[in-house]
Structure 1
Amino acid sequence: MNKSDGRHADQPDGSYADKKAFFERVLTVYGRKPALEALSDDSLDCHRLHLAQSNRSGGIIEQLLSTAQARGVPVSYHAREALARISKNGKQDQGVALDILCPAFRQLDDYLAALPSLPRQRILALDGITNPQNLGMILRSAAAGEIDAVLWSRRGNAALGPLVIKASSGTLYRAPLVFCQNLPEALAACRAAGIEVLTLRADAGRNLFGYRPATHAIYVLGNETSGVSKEVAAQADAGLAIPMGRGVESLNVAVTAALIAYAETAAGGQ
């Protein structure tokens, strides 16, 4: 077991760009139970287990160590403060963090660079989804349905922590996440790359189930309370509505995501 304080002792061989691309696909999960559940899933590529030196032996810590050993996952020990920097949540990490390689994760620049070689893309963009349960359920629907990418900005959305993992039923690790820093700027870059930006609005004249974008399209999901922000709305090419009956004004954002994911199937395919 590696007892150094450095988390990158086992970086892949290759150039700096290769190493950077590798670690951009690594999701660090914190907490004892989430880490043990992930380690116990042989389908996940667990890269390194991080433990605080102050953890007491026995119990779930012993289970983590034995499972990591059985799978050949390296273990690093850290001072408590260093472990908190790795988990980015020292108050809730319980002295445990686990790096998991998620092959479907990408940065926006890389995704846009590959766009010309891709078939027509259907993308979800998240504009201030602050409820972890909603975010997890959105990712689950996206992974299961006809969504090619989910644009997730680090500003304004719920963090990709244990609550999101639980709500996604573990599909977060396989979800096609595309990362950006700022959603309005990211959408502007997407429009410049030829992607149509669509917002979901109750007052829109076009029906979600009848609309067929001619090219790549991003469907923007707004905040649970305030909807799509003004900055994001300014980037929209068009709005789409979901038919409502019996005076219902809106649906839960996770339900809306599921309808988008299966909209073309429900309408009879392309």
Structure 2
Amino acid sequence: MPKPDRPQQDSASYRAKKQFFDSLLTVYGRKPVLEALRDPAVKLFRLHLAESNKPAGILDEILGIAKSQGADIQHHDRKALSRISKNSKQDQGVAADLQCKAYQSLEQFLSQPPRADFRLLALDRITNPQNLGMIIRSACAGNVDGILLPQKGGAQIDALVIKASAGTVFRAPIIHCPTLPEALAKLREAGATICALSSHARQTLGDFNPSGGSVYVLGNETEGVSTETAKHCNHQLSIPMNNGVESLNVAVTAALIAFQDAI
């Protein structure tokens, strides 16, 4: 994600510029970038290309779309591009800063929540890109107002996530934050109820009826919700299971929450 110049941190123009850059999603790789640019829900702000790129049809198509949208096009050496993509091994000489209507920071979400009884999924160290993609797809299709995605400690949006999400990542209500514990603390201050999903909890998901905003924390595929994250949770919920099954895949759990009121 690009960062604005910082001449005066407290100025209105700086805050507006920071809010804009916080709303950009950076995607890398030739096929992921092209798929994003073909999505009508996406607007390209800036295209980054490696100066060492050799001619290729897919690059011509990407450039053509960028020019048709009037996007800023910049060329970089490989080292500079790797600082933008943060993945020099897989960026294939291409990165793009995208404007996605549903992609926002936690501060932006809290300033204008979609409803008083909002429902969020919070991802605590989800490391498998396929799980992240499937969670995004279920949340986009179901009754969820946002997916809280920390920028540290877990999988980030890449080619595998985009593929697993079936392209819904560009329309999904993703809320980015630096770390999950910090974000949960802010949500609790805003009056939200924070619930950790745990197979050991006595209260079930079906018995839980929050009166205001609620956040459902999904833990790491192996270790579950971390101790640090659990400190910010004021409820623990389980999903009843039969035949000695102890847990479900985290993406399946996310789907059950997303469609809880619809089925």
Task: Give the alignment's TM-score, normalised by structure 1.
Answer: 0.88
How far 1:141 moved relative to its partner? 0.8
> Corresponding residue for 2:8?
none
How far 1:7 moved relative to its partner? 9.6
Residues 159-192 of structure 1: per-residue CA shift (max 9 Å, x gap)? 1211111111111112212222221222122112
How far 1:259 moved relative to its partner? 0.1
How far 1:20 moved relative to its partner? 1.3
SS of structure 1 residue aligned to 2:98? strand
Q: How does 1:215-254 map to 2 (within 5 A)?
A: 215-254=212-251
Q: 1:76 to 1:225 in 2, by over 3 A?
A: same
> Corresponding residue for 2:161?
164
SS of structure 1 residue aligned to 2:206? coil
For structure 2, the 5+ residue unaligned runs are 5-11
Whether contact under 8 Å (2:116, 2:212) holds in the other structure is no
> Corresponding residue for 1:105?
103
Provide the rounded CA distance (Å) in 2 between the counterparts of 1:62 and 1:217. 46
Within the candidate set 119, 134, 139, 1:142 is matched to 139
For structure 1, the 5+ residue unaligned runs are 1-5, 9-13
Whether contact under 8 Å (2:41, 2:170) holds in the other structure is no
Question: In angstroms, what is the RMSD of aligned CA positions?
Answer: 2.1
Within the candidate set 152, 171, 176, 1:174 is matched to 171
Confirm or deny that 1:123 pairs with 2:120.
Answer: yes
Q: 1:131 to 1:215 in 2, by over 3 A?
A: same
Confirm or deny that 1:195 pairs with 2:199.
Answer: no
How far 1:217 moved relative to its partner? 0.7
Residues 138-168 of structure 1: per-residue CA shift (max 9 Å, x gap)? 1111111111111111121111211111111
> Corresponding residue for 1:60?
58
How far 1:71 moved relative to its partner? 4.0
Provide the rounded CA distance (Å) in 2 between the counterparts of 1:23 and 1:63. 25
Provide the rounded CA distance (Å) in 2 between the counterparts of 1:39 and 1:105. 15
Within the candidate set 69, 73, 76, 2:74 is matched to 76
Provide the rounded CA distance (Å) in 2 between the counterparts of 1:193 and 1:41. 34
Task: Give the alignment's TM-score, normalised by structure 2.
Answer: 0.90
SS of structure 2 residue aligned to 1:249? coil
> Corresponding residue for 1:3?
none
Provide the rounded CA distance (Å) in 2 between the counterparts of 1:42 and 1:197. 34
Provide the rounded CA distance (Å) in 1 between the counterparts of 2:24 and 2:111. 21
* Bigger shift: residues 106-115 or 176-185: 106-115
Number of residues paired by the alignment? Answer: 256
* Bigger shift: residues 250-259 or 212-221: 212-221
SS of structure 2 residue aligned to 1:263? coil
SS of structure 2 residue aligned to 1:198? strand
Provide the rounded CA distance (Å) in 1 between the counterparts of 2:198 and 2:81. 43
Whether contact under 8 Å (2:47, 2:94) holds in the other structure is yes
SS of structure 1 residue aligned to 2:261? helix
> Corresponding residue for 2:83?
85
